[in-house]
Amino acid sequence: MAVWLNQVAVSESKNPPINIGHPRIYANVKSDWLLVYLSVSISSAYVGGTIGVAGANSGESPQSSVPTNTYQLLFIGNSHSSANGLPDLVAAMIEAGSPGSSAHSELAPGSGFLSDRLETAETQQSLESRDWTHVILQAQKYSTSGRFFYPTDAAEEWIRRVKAINAHPILFPEWPRKGNTEEGPRIHDLHLGIASRESACVAPVGLAWEESIKWYPALDLHAADGNHSNVNGATLTAFVFYQLITGQSAAELPPIQGIGVSEFVQRQLRDIAANVVNQDSATCSDMRSQGFQFSAGLNDAWFNPATDGQGYFITVFPDLEIVSLAWFTYDTVLPGDDEAADLGDPGHRWLMATGAFVGDRAELDISITSGGIFDTSTDIERTPDGTIILTFENCSSGTIDYDIPSIGRQGTIPIQRVANDNVSLCEALITD
């Protein structure tokens, strides 16, 4: 890998101040970004472990006013969509699972089947009222006995209308009625047929309910009427939508507070949703990939204008599907006046992280490296210390979400290019 930087200062002092990392690893990146070439060979050892520490000289965790992603969700459905505040529950999960992200979710006014709402002005007005990112379509009419067929042309037309506003259509097959063991798969198959004629994501809600009932028969998901969801059923349904919409595993969500479902039950439902979505969401595989994609056009110097003297070098390896990030920053506190270094400032920190990318998102592992001396072969020790989630909205802006346990810091940082020379290359690669 080749990394461009202006100046590298490796420092060693007798008693350097240090909160994280090792006192013998520093790097200096000044705001003028004068370029000096540092060649770093990529090997299995490098990919498996990286150099580093991170922090901010202000002693405060950098927080961004720019969200990692903005999700705008519209539910078009009946009481199955509104029960237990399902739209709000999905939004709460998105914001809990993606710190710094923004989620707005609402239910379109009105009710009835999708065929009834096709000519309803208020539903169409809701569809046109925002720049929705995802529209969830529920209430395709079906035969509860399975003996009759109802047209699906209205659902297909709704899918076309959703695509016309550049949103992702998600079909919402309902769960089975209580005690009915064949209804869930049948309703799911009905919606798969709709998606085969007009491409859309089919949420495996009914399949997740079937799986939960199989593994946890004592855990009731239905309301007293045996048709609608109770809070457990709504939570399981929301977990399914969370994973489909964000592309992040529901199993990794933190507990959601204040929803009336215990952390133990939430964990059971998260695991069910994650497993079912992983196995039964083939129609949704292209939903996130339709957005921005990592490419070598992102290889560049990046920075946050709010933190002068700090920055990032990002290198994407498309064939390996790996991203490497070098972060040039400072310790969490300023060094004392009596502290000195042979080369550079005692407060400099150089952090690196690597990991795989999918679509517009990369999950990178951080390692703290110690034992090195300037331009000298030594035995290096690498210790894992947290993660970085790297996402890009477009060729010019991205977001870093970091979690560094050794200093108890989590934060979100917006980044932009130092120069725009490679933007045209990035956009050309997207077009290709």
CB atoms within 10 A of CB 191: 27
Average pLDDT for residues 65-69, to the nearest whole number?
A: 46
Please tell me whether residues 51 and 92 are part of one structural domain: no
Nearest-angstrom CA–CA distance, 132 and 162: 9
Amino acid at 87: P
- Report residue 132's pLDDT band, with 50, 70 and 90 as the boundaries: very high
Q: Which residues contact 229 (CB under 8 A, 6 or more apart)?
A: 80, 83, 84, 86, 175, 221, 222, 223, 237
Residue 84 confidence (pLDDT) above 60: yes
CB atoms within 10 A of CB 368: 24
Residue 33 or residue 373, greater confidence: 373
Please tell me whether residues 119 and 257 are part of one structural domain: yes
CB atoms within 10 A of CB 220: 13
Please tell me whether residues 104 and 174 are part of one structural domain: yes
Per-residue pLDDT tens digits for 343-380:
666 657 878 899 998 878 899 999 888 788 888 898 88
Segments of 78-149 assigned E as strands = 102-107, 134-138
Q: What is the CA radius of gyration of the chain?
A: 25
Domain that holds residue 119: 70-284
Please tell me whether residues 99 and 53 are part of one structural domain: no
**Residue 418 included in any domain:** yes
pLDDT for res 9: 33
- Report residue 22's pLDDT band, with 50, 70 and 90 as the boundaries: very low
Residue 46 confidence (pLDDT) above 60: no
- Quote the number of domains for the chain: 2
Share the mean pLDDT of the chain: 81
Amino acid at 277: V
Residue 45 confidence (pLDDT) above 60: no
Average pLDDT for residues 83-110, to the nearest whole number?
A: 92
- Report residue 341's pLDDT band, with 50, 70 and 90 as the boundaries: confident
Please tell me whether residues 247 and 172 are part of one structural domain: yes
- Report residue 89's pLDDT band, with 50, 70 and 90 as the boundaries: very high
Average pLDDT for residues 170-199, to the nearest whole number?
A: 93
pLDDT for res 192: 93
**Residue 297 included in any domain:** no
Please tell me whether residues 315 and 224 are part of one structural domain: no
Residue 426 confidence (pLDDT) above 70: yes
Contact 203, 240 (CB under 8 A): yes
* C-alpha dihedral (363, 368, 371, 375), degrees to nearest 10: 50
Q: Exposure pattern of 397-429 as b/e (b: 16+ CB <10 Å)?
A: ebbbbbebebbebbbbbbbebbeeebbebbeeb
H or E segment and range at residue 210: helix 205-215
Per-residue pLDDT tens digits for 239-298:
999 999 988 889 989 999 999 999 999 999 999 999 999 888 777 866 654 457 899 999
Q: Which of 64-78, 163-177, 188-202, 365-379 has the lowest mean pLDDT?
A: 64-78
Please tell me whether residues 217 and 109 are part of one structural domain: yes
Structure tokens at 418: 């130092």
The CATH number of whichever domain residue 228 belongs to comes to 3.40.50.1110
Please tell me whether residues 45 and 153 are part of one structural domain: no
pLDDT for res 88: 97
Please tell me whether residues 233 and 215 are part of one structural domain: yes
